[in-house]
Structure 1
Amino acid sequence: MSATAIIITLIVIINVIFAFRFVFDVIKHKEEIRKEPGNGFMLAISSTVIFFFSTFGVSDFAISSIFYRKTKLVTDKKLPGTLNTQCVIPVAVMALAFITVINVDILTLAVCIIAQIIGAYIGPRFVVKLSPTVIRRFIGAGLVIATFFILAGKFGLIPSGGTATGLTGSKLVIAAVCLFIYGALNNIGIGSYALTMVTVYALGLNPAIAFPIMMGAATFSVPIGSMQFIKYGEYSRKITLFTSTFGVIGVLVAVYLVKGLDVSMLQWIVAAILLYSGVSMLIAEFRKKEEHLQEATA
């Protein structure tokens, strides 16, 4: 069995384990799910759209953060867990698609995957202890960071990548450290796609390599972290149930029907939305802090 076949087999195994854990949790809490907010039709449409764009590298963490907070579908406390659990199955489908069609050095792919898994496993036990205020500030900062990378790429401020299909030596070590950090950041609602993409570009890899690395690392690390969120019950079961079904439809449409979609204009729109949302969230949090300080000194 080839190394690629082994990775694909492991992707299937770990995601099947997650699916069993999730289904068991859904059955156990089916009465609570009925009481969770969210119209079924709306969730079906939003899940399809979110993961359609996610397949092209537009962060589902960022889009979902905005949508769920505006529609009040998830509390800030449960938002990080929901962002992680909802994308497990759709991302697995993405990973299987990209790993089989894009040529990438197997050692580079394996190192990046392992590094992000470790980061994702360590992260949740700290995230569930964070206050909603801290989580909101992290997410706000994450939205601004994602905007920076989108705009930096549009204006040519970051490297456009090279032609290499793999890394060795110090560059491989740098990639491993970065992916470890990104795995941990996933657990506080900061998506790793934009960060992974700019890392791949900066290290001289072919830009296309970002996709199997992003999806491959995420499809191992996110289930690991998500099972921790399921254990603590800190996620929306209803949203995850819908995205696990309709999110996959969005991925399949993107992968197999519209591979040549020009997302240039979309990137400008997304950048504007992310910047507005991230900055407004951070401003709101700092205003609350100032109000609390004024009340304390009054």
Structure 2
Amino acid sequence: MTNRPLIILLGNDYDETDHAVLFPEVRRRGADIERVHPDELVTELTEDGARFFFKGEEISPDLVVGWVYEDILYRGMYQLEAFERMGVPVLNTARTLFCGQNKYLNSVMLHAAGVPHLRVLSGRDGETLLTWARSQSFPLVLKPIVGFGGNGLQKIESMEQLAKVAPSLAPDEHYYIVPFVDNPGRDIRVYCLNYEPVYAHYRYAPEGQWITNFSAGGSMAPCNLTPELMEIAARASRSVGARMSGVDVVEDQATGTLRIFEVNTCPSNEPPVLPDFAQFLVEAATDYTRTLDSWKPEHVLYEPKPTDKLFHDYA
């Protein structure tokens, strides 16, 4: 028998390198943690409520962390909703994950909250797409509604190119198209816990390319968390309801302002984030309401200095 709280991370082994650091940090802070794939979880609904089983053993988690996306998103969402309905605290919730991982809904939430974002056109009507594009400046960027890692991005340089692409879009899914933002060849990923920025780094596109994701061959360097960057990242994270998030920020060189690309609800985390992530989870598993009301990270890495400015290379 143990008094240690139990945390279940509902997800797969895609972020195994993160878990190899996060899980020992959680255990060292006094909680138990187990990764459970949605296919490994069994639910029994009874007259008295629900029972959950993992590897044939009943589990009674004090906190469930939703970390499902891509092919396990929907299965995981069903189970996260079940846990929450049965009174088990959940971070991030099924709704947060569903809305956050859909670029259309992500954009709707950012716009509704007044967070500086981008113009967006999304739908299935190809004629409306072409009419809209004639009033825009090129290049434009087509993105899949759901996707990560820079997969499926297309940079559209002209009406002629768009006219060739447009007929193939509507039958497959709703298109999602935004202006290309003139930037310094990089964007910024800000990690937030309980909506509080903890750490940021620049993501640089490979030479001669424009996609900055590390999986696309880009590179990274630490970025100072200026007050301006912290404020916009916190607003974006809160607008999506993502207590754990990776906020993608772009420096718009045409306007000299910051804009949000999107809020990632299952971001791969960098090692500097993981100790505070572990502390947040342990405290949430111990006292969920108090933690969500008042928790702040122990350390904000790369704290701002009076002379710090964005649009400057700190690498």
TM-score for both structures, normalised by structure 1: 0.28
- Greater share of residues in helix: 1
Relative contact order (alpha carbons < 8 A, sep ≥ 6): 1 or 2 greater? 1
- Greater share of residues in strand: 2
TM-score for both structures, normalised by structure 2: 0.27
